[in-house]
Amino acid sequence: MTGIKPNFADIARRYNCDYRTVKRYYDLGKEKTLEEASKRRVPPSLIENYKSIIEDKLKLGCSVRSIYYFIQLKGYQGYIVRPSNAMPD
């Protein structure tokens, strides 16, 4: 009886999800533990290399925009996220 697969559709109905989701986690459970499978890869921060420069410039009283343009000249590839409720320039 160890070779019998569970009824994915029945389990999906009980837990109100798609049968493919149940099957995916069933297959993952054969390879890894749930904790290992649920860990997501966190991409490295683009700004990590520029933190010391940013902190130094903030201590000098530089504006965020000027710091952004400065680190952009140094090779920063990211962008500024502007909140929707920010004051217009």
Helices and strands (H, E) in the chain, number of each type: 5, 0
Q: Write down the pLDDT at residue 72.
A: 93
Q: What are the residue ranges spanned by the domains of the chain?
A: 8-38, 43-79
Q: Write down the pLDDT at residue 2.
A: 65
52 near 23, Cβ under 8 Å? Answer: no
Q: What is the pLDDT of residues 74-88, one digit of tens each?
A: 999 888 777 666 555
3-state secondary structure of 5: coil
Please give the model's pTM, rounded to 2 decimal places: 0.48
3-state secondary structure of 22: helix
Q: Write down the pLDDT at residue 10.
A: 95
Q: What is the pLDDT of residues 9-56, one digit of tens each?
A: 999 999 999 999 999 888 888 887 777 767 777 888 888 889 999 999
Q: Write down the residue that tokens 């069933």 correspond to.
A: 26
**Is the pLDDT at 1 greater than 60, yes or no?**
no
